[in-house]
Structure 1
């Protein structure tokens, strides 16, 4: 039976739904992600964009949310309670605001459910795993999944997917050497698995090989339905091999999270490695300047890592390293 593995790391919590040694779903929750979906928060109506349809509200933390629809009778400057229906999503050049709606009558302010609460409510058993010793997430393929989400290159037998993030939708392009009808089915199955594994939601497009036969198109669509749990909506596979899927969107997907701030993602990954690297002396982290700057700024992360390990932390900037190429070693603390 599938079970959730939950790891409460420095800077982020991680979870993976694992069945027979394979990750079916994975999620990361940074400690600074802002208001979560389901939160009920005090807000001030800042601007009415479209009367009766859309407004902008400023939350207590200074961030903004779109209210769809705004409550009737409220004017700019009014205070109200809102319920977050979709968390803010970082996007290069133009972050997407959180989306909110007026809170139900009688509601009280409260935080949205965190990652642990969400997986506890999923119906699958949850096993908390340590941040040192045996690495159950890694055994299930954690690093490979993170690499796929970061690069967008996902291999499957007979072909591969290329995952691209756009402002309008997430696109998965299928390519390979199998005959078109076989490649369409294999690619559709792989794409559906990737969508589930990486928590991809909202509008999603899958570009399969061009297949003219109705039965072949139906077989590709059936492969999606077999692999991707409901709820979702999809179109039929058209004659050009394109199919669109829509899933309810409450938060950023794994690729969006990892790519929106590559330096922060790399910093958290290095901290995870530092927690698990054996040895005595001091923790030495070497990384690109952007990564080290984040670690220097996040004193809480550093303090928590040193407390958990019982070792001092030393940071070193290495201009020759790419953002993703930092490394950790444990050894004597240099004077």
Structure 2
């Protein structure tokens, strides 16, 4: 039976849904300083017809213009999508006006509802790593996702998330295997919004239908898609409430590396040396966060020494 593995880390919470064979079906990270999150309901004021400002100061783009409300009116807003990082200018959080009572956004742990949850501790064997956690993070950062007989290459762009398929012939079989791998990667890396997939050009209608059927049988969340066109391109549109794992890690690679380093330091046995060698930028990020160092001291009883 599938189960969630959950860790309350320093600077982030992390979770992975593991299947019966010990493979990661979904990987999720929630950063402590990620800003407004979906599900938050908070008081705000309408500053434009399609823009509200929370009493805490953050601006929310409204999904639809406020009907009947005057500028400056007090409203309550539910966040429906967090900010999406993009080169140059991030997409701001989105929300809608609601009559519901104010409440905080659900935590990552509270969102893990579709399977049993096992909370991991730093002194226990590293079950996340045994399931391939580092490999999933690497594919999110590099965009290189191997599958039997081929390779997917993934790019998150402002317009859409793109997959390119490379591999060995015969092309019909390659495309079906790639479709299964793409669907699994979408689930694993929490990719939503508009998604484009460039398959090899397939001559026959039956081959293109087999590719579409492989997508349909593997993706679980509600989605819409086109057919595979004559050039091998298929588009999927899927709900999106927060950044994908690749967007999250690529938006702040130093922060991601710093939190990963803290995870390893926390798991280092007390009998091991207390000196750690880190890249200068990662070391500087950790030293600039006294809250992270305080949490590390509380959890491990020591302050690490970072070598130059």
Please give the TM-score of this superposition, normalised by the length of structure 1: 0.88
Which one of 110, 117, 130 corresponds to residue 117 of structure 1?
110
Residues 159 and 178, structure 1, Cα contact 8 Å, conserved in 2: no
Partner of residue 273, structure 1: 264
Task: Give RMSD over aligned pairs.
Answer: 1.5
Partner of residue 47, structure 2: 46
Partner of residue 210, structure 1: 201
Tell me the number of residue pairs that the alignment of Structure 1 and Structure 2 aligns. 307
Partner of residue 63, structure 1: 58
Residues 293 and 303, structure 2, Cα contact 8 Å, conserved in 1: no
1:8-157 equivalences in 2 (<5 Å):
8-19=8-19, 20-48=21-49, 55-103=50-98, 105=99, 107-119=100-112, 121-122=113-114, 124-157=115-148
The CA distance in 1 between the partners of 2:162 and 2:305, in whole Å, is: 41
- Give the C-alpha shift of residue 149 in structure 1: 0.3
**Compared CA separation, residues 285 and 76, structure 1 to 2 (3 A):** farther
The CA distance in 2 between the partners of 1:262 and 1:251, in whole Å, is: 18
Partner of residue 242, structure 1: 233
Per-residue CA deviation, residues 145-181 of structure 1 (Å, 9 max, x unaligned), is 0000010001111110001010011101101122211
Q: Gaps spanning 5+ residues in structure 1: where? A: 49-54, 319-335
The CA distance in 2 between the partners of 1:282 and 1:80, in whole Å, is: 55
The CA distance in 2 between the partners of 1:230 and 1:6, in whole Å, is: 21
Does 2:251 match 1:231? Answer: no
The CA distance in 2 between the partners of 1:86 and 1:292, in whole Å, is: 32
Per-residue CA deviation, residues 20-57 of structure 1 (Å, 9 max, x unaligned), is 11001110011111221111012222333xxxxxx122
Farther off after superposition, 290-299 or 249-258: 290-299
Please give the TM-score of this superposition, normalised by the length of structure 2: 0.95
